[in-house]
Amino acid sequence: MLMESVRSPAVDSSPHWIRRLDELHLLTPIRILLILAVAVLITMALRMVVNRWLGRVFGALGSADSRSSARQRAVASVLRSAIVGVIWSLVVFSLLDEVGVNVSGLVATATVIGGAIAFGAQTLIRDVISGLYVLIEDQYGVGDEVDLGLASGIVERITLRSVRLRDFEGRVWHLAHGGVARVANLSKSPLAVLDLDVARDVDLEQLDRVLVELADELQREAGPLLTGPPRVVGLMKMLDDRLVYRMNAPTRPGMHGEVRRAWRLVALRAFQRGDLRAPEPAPAVPSPPGGSAATGEAHPTS
């Protein structure tokens, strides 16, 4: 009796309706539909969570302009794509397991291939992660004047991998985010630094009066570009043949170049009127025949 009980098949404890579905070969399709439905619901729920979380993050930063909305949409798109990729990769493996495919070998192969791709695309991954931080931290945006070390100019386009700049000579630069070590956003700076070179022997009291007049003239010339009156800082450098005076002008975002051009015109008119004297160029030191002006040593002859 004991041997017969051991040899007898195990009793199926599943409910009758499940056994009936299995007999009709409907159990596997229903499981597949359930997996797909759950995956769709989880994807929709996580998308809502991501949108609400990013809305709170950007709202806490006090950003409500169109630029902030564009950044939020870009970051949300990246996060949603990553979440969808992870969820539906798991769904694919679950569906293959349901139809009887051995997924252990596929998982091992996918792991090896994924490792090889990640090793080969590590520069691309670094660029994408750096670009994500650029968007989240709002380091710069389209229309900003930036100095990225390797190139400087106006930002025309930003993607997760690179940024496109146009410099002031019309050249277009494409820079990967991962290769940028420092960022200077000139559009976020509230000041335009304006330097003026004058002759070393100029009368300092007269120069101070002229600079105050030039500050007033600059405010009249570039009034819509400024957010306040220019301020004379004073003497910044004293060189052998010249003095360098500085003036700070509070500007609107992205208007530094226009203010500098207006300042050059104002300073040029002052030189033409005789209010200022330009520094005289240092006389050139002639080189002795066959020798060097700096060291006085004769060049070897062949």
Task: Find, among 199, 217, 201, the residue nearest to 209 by Cα.
Answer: 217
pLDDT at 208: 87
Instruction: Verify that 182 and 108 share a domain, yes or no.
Output: no
Containing structural domain, residue 207: 189-273
Q: How far apart are CA 297 and CA 302, in angstroms?
A: 16
Instruction: Verify that 116 and 152 share a domain, yes or no.
Output: no
- Tell me the pTM: 0.54
Beta strands in the chain (DSSP E): 145-147, 152-158, 162-166, 172-176, 184-185, 191-199, 231-238, 242-250
- CATH number (domain holding residue 112): 1.10.287
pLDDT at 294: 47
Instruction: Verify that 99 and 173 share a domain, yes or no.
Output: no
pLDDT at 297: 47
Instruction: Verify that 27 and 105 share a domain, yes or no.
Output: yes
Residue 109 resides in a domain:
yes
Residue 259 resides in a domain:
yes
- CATH number (domain holding residue 197): 3.30.70.100
Q: Cβ distance 87 to 42 under 8 Å? A: yes
Q: Cβ distance 39 to 87 under 8 Å? A: yes
Residue 56 resides in a domain:
yes
Instruction: Verify that 199 and 244 share a domain, yes or no.
Output: yes
Residue 290 resides in a domain:
no
Q: How confident is the prediction along the chain (302 residues), in pLDDT tens digits per residue?
A: 433 444 444 445 666 656 655 555 566 777 888 888 998 999 889 888 888 887 777 766 655 566 667 677 777 877 888 888 888 888 888 888 777 777 777 777 777 887 777 777 788 888 888 888 888 788 888 888 888 888 888 888 888 888 999 988 889 999 998 888 888 887 776 788 888 899 888 888 888 889 889 999 998 888 888 888 888 888 888 888 888 989 888 888 767 778 888 999 999 998 898 888 888 776 666 666 655 544 444 444 43
Residue 236 resides in a domain:
yes
pLDDT at 282: 64
Task: Find, among 129, 264, 106, the residue nearest to 196 by Cα.
Answer: 264
Instruction: Verify that 198 and 175 share a domain, yes or no.
Output: no
Neighbours of 254 (CB within 10 A): 15
Residue 170 resides in a domain:
yes
DSSP 3-state of 100: coil
Instruction: Verify that 20 and 59 share a domain, yes or no.
Output: yes
Q: How far apart are CA 95 and CA 36, in angstroms?
A: 9
The number of distinct structural domains making up the chain is: 3
